[in-house]
Chain A
Amino acid sequence: MRLFSTDHKVVARQFLWAGLGFLLLGGLLALLIRWQWAYPGRPVPGLGWVLPESGGALTPPTYTGVFTMHGLLMVFFAIAPLLIGALGNFVIPLAVGARGMAFPRLTALSFWVFAAGGVLVLASFGVRLGTASAAWTSYPPLSTHVFTPGVGQTLVMLGVVCAAVSSFLGAVNYVVTVVRCRAPGMTWGRLPLTVWGLFLTSVLNLLFIPVVAAATGMLLLDRLTGTRFFLEGAAVVGGGDPLLYQHLFWLFGHPEVYILILPGWGMIGDFVAFFSRRPAHGYRGTVVAMSTVSALSGLVYAHHLFTSGLSPMLGRAFMTLTLVISLPSTVMFLNWMMTVWRGSVRLTAPMLAAVGAMGVFGLGGVTGLALGAVATDIPLHGTMWVVGHFHLTMGAASFLAVFAGLYFWFPKMFGRTLHAGWAKAHVLTSAVLFIAVFGGQLLTGYAGQLRRLYDPYQYTFLKHLLELNQWTSFAAFALGLAQGIFLVNLAWSLRKGPAADANPWQVGTLEWTCAPSPPPEDNYARVPVVVRGPHELSQPEGHERLGRDWIGQAELLPGEASRAAEGAEEPGSQVPSAGGAA
């Protein structure tokens, strides 16, 4: 693998390894938080060498840094690079029938800017006064030099700016590739839903990443140059306003939820069709629903500010918009279920992960309704209910979507086959434990436990939650251990996994039907000419003329060949496949 390659498949693998590394680090930090809530102040086994002064116990400042970096790493350095950087870079050009990204050098640049950000974030752990500790939102005045004077906070914010720039460059590339580089015949209505999800994510990234870049830029100016955009108080005459940062942050932050789940929604839409052996029910409706959610996502951000003194009039408007977003989401959900209904369902690992993502996202969505309505948000705001809700949507659903995508495209990405049994065991245990962990958080939040508390049991009314928190922590530790199944399977399959077939899932999209596993550097021997949609499954003509239940997107049926010969376009070239789903 060339280090500075501009091949989108190589860059996708670079994002994959970097994202998995940060996922491991962010996950370990999560386990530390869970340890603290299960055994407050007790030394963490094996951590004595890192924290010798406290004998391995988390002190309040260390704990603050731990939960801050857990959130930042997971959002900016794990989910985004895995779901968008790795799967997006790998899938988009192949699925639209392009020989590569529109701007190959930009592809490589987006990874290396991300890597620079990662280095800055890792370096922050080693500086005096420690890493960032103003939570993942970096709200001022907590994140200004007054309250977090160490260089760690500055390094992390610079790292976030790098991650933002990387996402922006990637988004430009994705949008231009989808708009300009589609294969002949690949109309918008023939795009796989995964590509739609990644395209809409990129549009949201383009619109809202600059907003967080501006907010973080002004915050950095406040920290480093003496400006006062967000600081006010007795010492500053005519100072700025910390609430301004909240507006800017959530104008980005709420769409970020959809940025991190839209690719997953697209994958779910494709996978339920592929593995139910049925065309996606309501393809257009699903695309319109995803687009509507994307459009609404920028108009609902102020529900995060219901308790910040927002005008009640505005609160009512934002509540309405927030609740309206559940309508297109429901359309999408129903379409997925209708696709599965009476289908010939194959419970492969990608299908199980997709169904798991549907389930946890549904639970996260329903619990989010309580946070979208002013009356119920006020008592729940700032509690563990919020933590449980957004972990189900942004954490569990996104990671299950990552695993669904990775299990699905692994054979194409590496030319080897993962162990199917281990993959299914990993997905099932992860899905169950995700619900246990984040369900536990919802319960403690409903009981009134505030988020981010170092020792919740200092409050008498929370003492009885110790046992529930301990069980939740045990589930979290088990979830961490379950990821070992994935790591072992990954390592084993990369070295000794059987060679992958060109089309092991027996589906019709271009990457599986027109390119070997793994594809060559320029993807296709000949650019395919697309003649049909991505979900041509269980069609009578396919059974009759081909003797199988799927038809390739660039595949002409025997009767269609003569019609195509009259036109100017040549039919697409199919790669041979022995079939056999893992």
Chain B
Amino acid sequence: MTTGEAPAPAAREAAGTAWFGVVVGLGAWGMFFASLAFSVGYLRMREPWPLAGMPPLPVILPAVGVLLLGTAGALLHVGGRGARVTLCLLGALGALVGSLAVQGFVLSTLWSAGLKLPQGGAYASAVYGLGALHGAHVAAGVVGLVRELVRGARGAEVRGAASLWALYGDFLAVTGLVLFAAVYLP
């Protein structure tokens, strides 16, 4: 299909079905992160956050990590519309890797500062456990984007896939924001 050519009705319908499936799937999987956020809220209601003697949590760097996730989603939306899709995929990949790097830096710094498991109890569990679970989702996005880049390099059409991955980018940004608010904000 050349640029500007209208997709055939069947292809358009298949693309619509794929889009709807991804929206349903990701929207529902949001309950996973809602449950994690509920859990942190439940634990935070029981005692001070952080407990006395435990290092406080940074705010700026985790916020930067969430911003990078949002950037990845935005770039993928642009790529999905057909503008320099390879460049957008590369940019989004860089943003996701950057987000993982920022998160890794934050967690390793906290570990060095004495926030360890299991001594850190529920407080440290929320920071590391939820960070790991969300990080695993970001890593899945990295793998997916690398796959699309490889497919694109082999000549396959990846704009449709990029627009679906854009939804995943949005999902990562929104769930990252929810966990940031639940864990890192005082």
Q: Are A240 and B43 in contact (CB under 8 A)?
A: yes
A56 contacts the other chain (CB 8 A): no
Q: Are A238 and B129 in contact (CB under 8 A)?
A: no
A-contacting 9-mer, from B71-79, B92-100, B117-125, B160-168:
B117-125
Contact of A237 among B29, B38, B39, B51 (CB under 8 A): B51
Contacts of B16 in A (CB 8 A): 180
Q: Are A247 and B125 in contact (CB under 8 A)?
A: no
Give chain B nearest CB distance to A497 CB in angstroms.
37
Give chain A nearest CB distance to B108 CB in angstroms.
16
Q: Are A218 and B129 in contact (CB under 8 A)?
A: yes
Contact of B128 among A180, A207, A227, A241 (CB under 8 A): A227
A interface: dominant SS: helix
Most B CB contacts (10 A, CB to CB) among A171, A176, A247 go to A176
Q: Across the interface, name the chain B residue whose C-beta is closest to A248.
A: B35
Q: Are B28 and A207 in contact (CB under 8 A)?
A: yes
Interface string of B134-150 (1 = CB under 8 A from A): 00000000000000000
Contact of B28 among A206, A214, A227, A248 (CB under 8 A): A206
A102 contacts the other chain (CB 8 A): yes
Q: Are A221 and B28 in contact (CB under 8 A)?
A: no
Q: Across the interface, name the chain B residue whose C-beta is closest to A229.
A: B125
Contacts of B123 in A (CB 8 A): 238
Contact of A236 among B25, B39, B46, B118 (CB under 8 A): B118
CB within 8 Å of B: which of A172-218?
A: 172-173, 175-176, 179-181, 206-208, 210-211, 213-215, 217-218
Contact of A210 among B20, B29, B122, B126 (CB under 8 A): B29
Provided the pairs A179-B20, A229-B39 are in contact, do residues A237 and B133 lie with their beta carbons within 8 angstroms?
no
Contacts of A175 in B (CB 8 A): 24
A168 contacts the other chain (CB 8 A): yes
Give chain A nearest CB distance to B140 CB in angstroms.
13
Q: Are A172 and B21 in contact (CB under 8 A)?
A: yes
Contacts of A303 in B (CB 8 A): none
Interface string of B94-110 (1 = CB under 8 A from A): 00000000000000000
The distance in angstroms between the C-alpha atoms of A248 and B126, with both chains bound, is 16
Give chain B nearest CB distance to A508 CB in angstroms.
27
Interface residues on A, range: 35 or more
The distance in angstroms between the C-alpha atoms of A173 and B125, with both chains bound, is 34
Q: Are A238 and B21 in contact (CB under 8 A)?
A: no
B178 contacts the other chain (CB 8 A): no
The distance in angstroms between the C-alpha atoms of A248 and B16, with both chains bound, is 34
Contacts of B38 in A (CB 8 A): 247-248
A576 contacts the other chain (CB 8 A): no
Contacts of A562 in B (CB 8 A): none
CB within 8 Å of A: which of B17-58?
A: 17, 20-21, 24-25, 28-36, 38-39, 42-43, 46-47, 51, 54
Contacts of B119 in A (CB 8 A): 237
Give chain B nearest CB distance to A238 CB in angstroms.
4
Give chain B nearest CB distance to A442 CB in angstroms.
34
The distance in angstroms between the C-alpha atoms of A206 and B118, with both chains bound, is 33
Q: Are A168 and B121 in contact (CB under 8 A)?
A: no
Contacts of B31 in A (CB 8 A): 206-208, 210-211, 214
Give chain A nearest CB distance to B36 CB in angstroms.
5
Contacts of A222 in B (CB 8 A): 125
Q: Are B129 and A168 in contact (CB under 8 A)?
A: no
Give chain B nearest CB distance to A460 CB in angstroms.
41
Q: Are A214 and B129 in contact (CB under 8 A)?
A: no
Contacts of B121 in A (CB 8 A): 228, 232, 236-240
CB within 8 Å of B: which of A136-184?
A: 168, 171-173, 175-176, 179-181
The distance in angstroms between the C-alpha atoms of A239 and B36, with both chains bound, is 16
A226 contacts the other chain (CB 8 A): yes
Contacts of B35 in A (CB 8 A): 210-211, 214-215, 248, 251
The distance in angstroms between the C-alpha atoms of A218 and B43, with both chains bound, is 13
A311 contacts the other chain (CB 8 A): no
The distance in angstroms between the C-alpha atoms of A276 and B16, with both chains bound, is 41
Q: Are A244 and B43 in contact (CB under 8 A)?
A: yes
Q: Are B39 and A227 in contact (CB under 8 A)?
A: no
Q: Are A221 and B32 in contact (CB under 8 A)?
A: no
Q: Across the interface, name the chain A residue whose C-beta is closest to B22.
A: A172
The distance in angstroms between the C-alpha atoms of A217 and B29, with both chains bound, is 14
Q: List 27 A-B contacts (CB under 8 A).
A: A102-B21, A103-B21, A168-B28, A171-B28, A172-B24, A172-B25, A175-B24, A179-B20, A181-B17, A207-B31, A210-B28, A210-B31, A210-B35, A211-B31, A211-B32, A211-B35, A215-B35, A221-B125, A226-B117, A227-B118, A227-B128, A237-B119, A238-B51, A238-B122, A239-B121, A239-B122, A247-B42
Q: Which 3 A-B pairs have the closest CB atoms?
A: A238-B121, A206-B28, A214-B35
On A, residues with C-beta under 8 Å from B are: 102-103, 168, 171-173, 175-176, 179-181, 206-208, 210-211, 213-215, 217-218, 221-222, 225-229, 232, 236-241, 244, 247-248, 251
On B, residues with C-beta under 8 Å from A are: 13, 16-17, 20-21, 24-25, 28-36, 38-39, 42-43, 46-47, 51, 54, 117-126, 128-129, 132-133
